[in-house]
Chains A and B, each alone.
Chain A
Amino acid sequence: DGGITQSPKYLFRKEGQNVTLSCEQNLNHDAMYWYRQDPGQGLRLIYYSQIVNDFQKGDIAEGYSVSREKKESFPLTVTSAQKNPTAFYLCASSPLDSEGGELFFGEGSRLTVL
């Protein structure tokens, strides 16, 4: 089945450690996105990419990094510089060719810093 796969679903990290969240899609979508979700705060855009080897910062990119070496993959690294990394992280993808194109989301990864 086509879709977006995020892993791991749950992740625990000690302070000072970097962690990488995986996001893979087989929908042949050009655009991919990472969002952070905190209780009661909706979605906040971290990074997005519209083509391989290119990506742009979203609203809250500080303390995060991404790569886009393959069209299917858009991993997010939460670095030790991120002051408050405990959150629910959502990856999404969409086609580029239409404003009517909706986003397809993964199931999310919940990161907890101990």
Chain B
Amino acid sequence: GNSVTQMEGPVTLSEEAFLTINCTYTATGYPSLFWYVQYPGEGLQLLLKATKADDKGSNKGFEATYRKETTSFHLEKGSVQVSDSAVYFCALKSGGSYIPTFGRGTSLIVHP
């Protein structure tokens, strides 16, 4: 079956630090990959996505590259801000199913 594994949190960084949140997956077929962000007390919203191998998704300074050879979709940002503090979820859709598989989420805390 499909699964998504994210690094355990919380990840604590100082403002302007470099961010990496690791995400690896197992899936049938060729999945589409997503990163969602959840700010405190809110629902999830799509941050970025990639639908085929070697695609790079990007938004708001965040990037992730679909690496089929390593089955990974790591989230990166060159310089985080306090406003980036949130929970980040990696997810996939695969195998003809419209039901996504989510990782457990990684909490990011950015200090001034």
Contact = CB atoms under 8 A, between A and B. Distances in A.
Interface of A: 4, 6, 31, 33, 40-43, 45, 48, 50, 90, 92, 94, 96, 99-108
Nearest to B9: A40
Given A6-B43, A90-B43, 14 more contacts: A41-B104, A42-B104, A48-B99, A90-B44, A94-B98, A96-B98, A99-B94, A100-B51, A101-B98, A102-B34, A102-B46, A102-B49, A103-B46, A108-B41
Contact of A42 (B34, B98, B102): B102
Most chain B CB inside 10 Å of its own CB: which residue of A40, A92, A96, A102: A102
Contacts of B93: 99-101
Contacts, number: 57
Interface residues of B, number: 24
B85 to A, nearest CB: 16
Interface of B: 31-32, 34, 36, 41-46, 49, 51, 89, 93-94, 96-100, 102-105
Contacts of A107: 42-43
13 contacts: A4-B43, A43-B102, A92-B44, A99-B32, A99-B94, A100-B32, A101-B93, A104-B46, A105-B43, A105-B44, A106-B43, A108-B41, A108-B42
A50 B46 CA distance: 21
Chain B interface, DSSP helix/strand/loop, else mixed: loop
A43 B97 CA distance: 18
B44 A100 contact: no
A9 to B, nearest CB: 9
A99 B94 CA distance: 7
A45 B104 contact: no
A51 to B, nearest CB: 12
A38 B68 CA distance: 31
Nearest to A106: B43
Given A99-B94, A99-B98, A42 B43 contact: no
B51 A42 contact: no
